Amino acid sequence: MKNRVTIELAKENDLEYLPDVERSAARKFIEYLKLNEGNFSKTLDQNILKQSLSNKSLWVARNNADIIGFLASRTFDKFIHIDELSVSFEFQGMGIGRKFLDVLNEKAADDGIQELTLTTDKLIPWNFPYYQRLGFSEVDMEECPHFLKEILTRDKNANPVPENRVAMTKKL
């Protein structure tokens, strides 16, 4: 049963549930791209999750007590990078991603952050346009800050269709 969804800072014991949420979120990509689940079996590095947790940059969405989504981010100088925004398959399309980004925008304002960054797949019809509607713009690799170049390169190397992977930024 889908009840009121709440967004809150993650706790240490939440970490074990996040890979399952990420794999559930990937179902939409697997179906759209007609890939096998092996292409999306790798989840966000636990070290990044732990770093996000310790910096109070990891949030979870709960439906009752169940974790149904998360946003992991890291700060690089005057940038906050979104490492992962995942919402469980059955809860997608309910505005939970936007709620996460509202919370992140609030944190950015409190911390004096000037820009948000992320990487995404340009040709997935619900990802790239979604971020554009929220004020993000594509950035060429040459124009990316050093940390974002490294992340984009890593993401391209891990992606089944590397040329579709792009960086996006949103000035605050």
Enter the tokens of residue 147: 């940390």
pLDDT in tens, 24-42: 998 877 666 666 555 556 7
What value does the mean pLDDT take over residues 141-169?
94
136 three-class SS? coil
Closest Cα partner for 144 from 153, 132, 135?
Answer: 153
67 three-class SS? strand
- Flag whether pLDDT at 160 surpasses 80: no
Total domains present in the chain: 1
Q: Tell me the residue range of the domain where 41 lies.
A: 5-171
- Flag whether pLDDT at 154 surpasses 70: yes
126 three-class SS? coil
pTM: 0.92
pLDDT category of residue 4 using cuts at 50, 70 and 90: confident
pLDDT value for 33: 67
| CATH label of the domain that carries residue 93 | 3.40.630.30
Which percentage of the chain shows pLDDT scores above 90? 82
Name residue, tokens 């169940």: 66
pLDDT category of residue 158 using cuts at 50, 70 and 90: confident
pLDDT category of residue 123 using cuts at 50, 70 and 90: confident
pLDDT in tens, 61-116: 999 999 999 999 999 999 999 999 999 999 999 999 999 999 999 999 999 999 99
* DSSP letter, residue 72: E
